[in-house]
Structure 1
Amino acid sequence: MTLPSKEYFTLIEAGARWGAPLGTIAGWAEVGRFRIVTSTPHIACGDRRVFGMVELFGSDLFKMLSTTGKRSRCCLVRRVIPFHQDCTELLYVTKPEQGLRVQPDELWIPAIDLYRFEEKYGLAQRAGKGGREPKYDWEGMWAPLCVHIFAEGVPAAMQELANEVQAWFIEASPTGEAPDMSTIRRRIRPIWEALKKERED
């Protein structure tokens, strides 16, 4: 049985597909090239209760996603547009009073938006070029891994890094498959050794 295609791609996945910084992606969303959404169990916008997916504004995410200056690990947004609900107007978050807290790995682009963007700008990924397509997307894994290390810091042990890589493959794979742990450790060992040396120095 064939599984349905993905409905959403994380910003980190999109950055890996396009080779673009997350801040640049937020800028594209700000000018309407696609939507960025996140999920919330419940927020209040005045007398309206909002839950599920909400659309965000790219400019509200710049400080968190920027590649220059000191980047925040999360940010608070006060403007949302309900997604897949009857109301599609701009709403202002009143509860939580500080705003809706979001972080990079909680941001998605609807698949329909992503595919339309790739088609328009010639970014559609082509299978079958240059021989047999690899079973696992090792090239696509590196950008999300770098973002994770940047956001969370260097872990205490290589196994923690390997666990993150395995989790990424499971999430990115339509069938939930991932390389075996020994292969993952072998692939990431050079970057782990470099990070370990830098930390010790």
Structure 2
Amino acid sequence: MSRLISRKPYYTLAEVCERWSLSMADITAYSLEGELIVSIAVGGLPFAVSDIDHEEDGRPFHIPCGTRWHVGTIDLHRIEAFAVLEGGEAAVGRFLSAAGQLLEPLGEKDERAQIYVARDALVVRHAELERFEAAHAKLPPPEARVRSPSAPERRRGRGAPVKYDWEGALCEVVVMVNDEGVPETERELIDKVRDWFAAQIGPDNVPCDTSIKNRISRFWNRIKPDIGRPSALRSIHDVLTERPPENKRRAGS
């Protein structure tokens, strides 16, 4: 009988080891180096959610975005993944969503908690399986990858990839203000930026409102309406008025 199902939402480590002819030690090595993301499946648990952003020097910081119940797969950071893979089990207190948000398990009183994760519970999401296979399909044969001892070693770039196009979002804010004028409230501007991200990357992948507010706050503080002074970004036709003829100005003086 031919196989009717060509894919699964996720695969056990035993399945991927057989598929790729790898050992569990190989999976551990790939995971520790960040080349393979392993996950667990949860049937509905509460998490504190934070966006992850980075300083200019690459150091990460978290922006709390509230709490939510999660159903589905969640990813392990490579450090926790190594602890589970190497030791067979470990208590894990932080996870990552597929969109890259930090998920921290919550206990009965909404305090930070940990999830006990066994190695047999680890899985690989279908999208991650395809990404891993595509990445290795582009590599040259092993014999071509053997580096001469005299050849200089190529160093990998440092720093995490940018998750959101904040520069593009701020450029869009300038266009919005120029075309539509300054919004009456910061809430309205946040909504416009969220709608822009939704159109670019989909409504399920947009940054939380707190992240957006942190990014646009300095810009908003410079352009927000202020009684008693004109906005710095009012349209030119609102700022310039027609100069009266010289004779009329003299007659009225």
TM-score of the pair, normalised by structure 1: 0.46
Greater Rg, structure 1 or structure 2?
2
Q: TM-score normalized by structure 2?
A: 0.38
